[in-house]
């Protein structure tokens, strides 16, 4: 990620959620993080256990960048850890709150829906995939699930929010996930659902179960809990941000 400022800024206080961490599904073998300009950052974590790099660039600067390079071993398990404290992920949040459009789709999909929770998850995901279209720049990071479904188009963030809204309407705990996957040029968003106490990954954008092509970075109630970069600075500069991600498959390190 790189941010360019139109004029010098000072006291740039940042929080970065870029660092993947070990889970049942993945193991981080190596990770090299570089922040420019140089500064003394420190590690923290949020309420969900996501890793956060915090710091301050005090002196004047016209650009700020973060780069991460590493190796992750994936596909180690089909599920995440056992978790019976899922109440927070059954309550609709700011981005997933259903309106007329989502409630109508939910009621329509419930007709003839299977009874088992796993089959219902697949049924809802297939139904969403049929009625929603992937169209870059059709929405923004501020677009809610209800607004996106009204448009019938959006990106991975919108697919994830709509899917979570449908699942929570059905009483199934669901959480928002940010990470990376092979074939994407930026970060990717998907969903984890809690079935029998374990978290399983589904990707409504591609109508797939997540597999070893996915590297998880963070999870939360919705996009707000997983924003990869937050910061405040002193100065009146305009800013331009660019983000690039590349994931490739390599042979297992010995």
**Please, which pLDDT band fits residue 254 given cuts at 50, 70 and 90?**
low
Question: How far is Cα of residue 175 from the mean position of the Cα atoms in its chain?
Answer: 9
Average confidence score pLDDT of the chain = 95
Which whole number is the average pLDDT over 34-45? 93
pLDDT at position 250: 87
Mean pLDDT of all residues in 164-190: 94
- pTM for this predicted structure: 0.94
Asked if residues 91 and 167 have their Cβ atoms less than 8 Å apart, the reply is no
State the residue for tokens 């990717």.
Answer: 188
pLDDT tens readout for residues 53-107 = 999 999 999 999 999 999 999 999 999 999 999 999 999 999 999 999 999 999 9
**CA 29 remoteness from chain centre:** 21
CA 114 from chain centre, in angstroms, equals 28
Closest among 87, 17, 70 to 45, alpha carbons compared: 17
pLDDT of residue 186: 83
Domains in the chain: ranges and CATH: 2-76+228-242 (2.60.40.2250), 87-226 (3.10.620.30)
Percentage above 90 pLDDT, the chain: 91
Residue 177 vs residue 18, higher pLDDT: 177
């Amino acid at each position: 990620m790189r941010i360019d400022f139109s004029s010098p800024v000072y006291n740039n206080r940042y929080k970065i959620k870029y660092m993947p961490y070990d889970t049942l599904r993945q193991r981080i073998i190596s990770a090299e993080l570089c922040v420019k300009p140089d500064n003394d950052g420190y590690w923290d974590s949020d309420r969900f256990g996501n890793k956060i790099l915090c710091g301050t660039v005090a002196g004047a600067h016209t650009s700020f960048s973060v780069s991460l390079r590493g190796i992750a071993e994936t596909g180690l398990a089909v599920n995440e850890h056992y978790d019976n404290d899922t109440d927070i992920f059954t309550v609709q949040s700011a981005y997933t709150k259903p309106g007329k459009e989502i409630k109508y789709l939910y009621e329509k999909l419930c007709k003839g829906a299977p009874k088992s929770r796993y089959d219902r998850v697949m049924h809802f995901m297939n139904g969403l995939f049929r009625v929603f279209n992937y169209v870059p720049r059709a929405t923004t990071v501020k677009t809610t699930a209800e607004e996106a479904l009204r448009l019938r188009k959006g990106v991975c963030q919108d697919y994830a929010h709509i899917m979570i809204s449908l699942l929570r309407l059905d009483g199934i705990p669901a959480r928002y996930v940010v990470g990376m996957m092979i074939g994407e040029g930026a970060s990717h968003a998907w969903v984890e659902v809690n079935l029998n106490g374990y978290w399983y990954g589904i990707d409504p954008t591609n109508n797939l179960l997540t597999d070893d092509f996915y590297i998880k970075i963070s999870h939360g109630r919705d996009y707000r809990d997983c924003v990869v970069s937050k910061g405040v600075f002193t100065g009146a500069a305009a800013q331009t941000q660019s983000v690039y991600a590349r994931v490739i498959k390599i042979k297992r390190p010995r």
